[in-house]
Amino acid sequence: MLKSTLLASALVLTGAVAAQAVDYRTALESYLDGNIMPWAGDERIVVSILAQNDMTSALDAAGIDALDQAWRGEIGGADTPTITPVLANPTSDFLREIVNGSGGTITGIFLMDAVGLNVATSGVTSDYWQGDEDKHQKTYGMGPGAVHYGDIEFDESSQSYQAQISVAVTDPATGKVIGAMTVGVNADSLM
């Protein structure tokens, strides 16, 4: 009897967790369509990614790793020659405007180029190279229209539960994917 009660409780709990996961996924999809996609192809984003692609397309793995290590070493420091050009450019200002105008729903945004390096960001990320992560591989690497929804996790920097929505960024002139964008979304604000 105890065994069947425990099994029934486990099934109910699993069903509730699955239902909540489906609800969050639906809410994330709706937020993407109604609130992110209208500005995801903004000319500032496209131009910034294309410009950086021109600068980083010839980098090899060692060059990318060196930049990533430099970025990581600069976090929290006074001298930030790798971080500052990314954080202090006009496209980063545009991203911060979006975050500030979201009413707390968006916790952060960053753009990645074709090799997965940050192009612009609303705040300092923990690393410079995203090319080894799903947010880049499952968007840029998958073609136009690709979207990746990350798991809901506790984010230390925002002190909230968030999910990341990542999308491929396409050049409207060519129809080709040029980079990717990740938007951190406060999960509690969606439900």
Residue type, 147: V
**Rounded Cα distance, 82 and 59, in Å:** 15
Give the pairing of strands 118-121 and 147-149: unpaired
Domain definitions of the chain by residue range = 2-190
3-state SS assignment for residue 124 = coil
- Cα→Cα distances 119→56, 75, 90, 107, 177, Å: 10, 17, 11, 18, 15
CB 118 within 8 A of CB 130: yes
pLDDT digits (tens, 9 = 90+) for 81-127: 999 999 999 999 999 999 999 999 999 999 999 999 999 999 999 99
Tell me the average pLDDT of the chain: 88
Side chain identity, residue 123: G
Q: How much of the chain exceeds pLDDT 90, in percent?
A: 77
Q: Which helix (H) or strand (E) holds 180?
A: strand 177-186
CA angle 104, 156, 117 (to 5 degrees): 85
Digit-coded pLDDT (tens) for 148-188: 999 998 877 667 789 999 999 999 999 999 999 999 999 88
Domain 2-190: assigned CATH number: 3.30.450.20
pTM: 0.86
